[in-house]
């Protein structure tokens, strides 16, 4: 089975899509990924849960929902 490398344009598009998300959400996602690859007994989920709560309490969360309802791109500020 061979493994195909994605094209540079695909990688750039994917990175751009991820980078357009709310900064607090990106931070929480990175924390969750880091926790997921830890051994189960060393995994610390409380900080991940707190980061997710912070996302839901943020003005970026409100902006994201509002932008979706208004069918426009959100303008995130990391707050």
Residues spanned by the domain of 48: 23-79
- pLDDT per residue over 25-43, tens digit each? 999 999 999 999 999 989 9
Number of domain units in the chain? 1
What would the two tokens of residue 72 be?
């426009």
What b/e sequence results for 25-34 when a residue is b if at least 16 CB atoms lie within 10 Å of its CB, and e otherwise? bbebbebeee
What would the two tokens of residue 11 be?
């990688």
pTM: 0.77
> What are the per-10-residue average pLDDT scores of the chain (79 residues)?
85 94 95 94 93 96 97 95
- Indicate the helix (H) or strand (E) that contains 79: none
Question: Does residue 8 form part of some domain?
Answer: no
CATH number for the domain including 75?
A: 1.10.12
pLDDT at 3 (0 to 100): 82
pLDDT at 2 (0 to 100): 66
Question: Does residue 57 form part of some domain?
Answer: yes
């Amino acid at each position: 089975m061979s493994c195909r490398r994605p094209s540079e344009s695909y990688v750039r598009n994917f990175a751009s899509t991820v980078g357009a998300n709310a900064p607090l959400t990106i931070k929480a996602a990175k924390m969750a990924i880091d926790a997921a690859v830890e051994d189960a007994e060393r995994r610390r989920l409380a900080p991940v849960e707190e980061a997710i709560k912070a996302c839901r309490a943020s003005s970026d969360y409100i902006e994201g929902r509002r932008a979706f309802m208004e069918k426009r791109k959100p303008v995130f500020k990391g707050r």
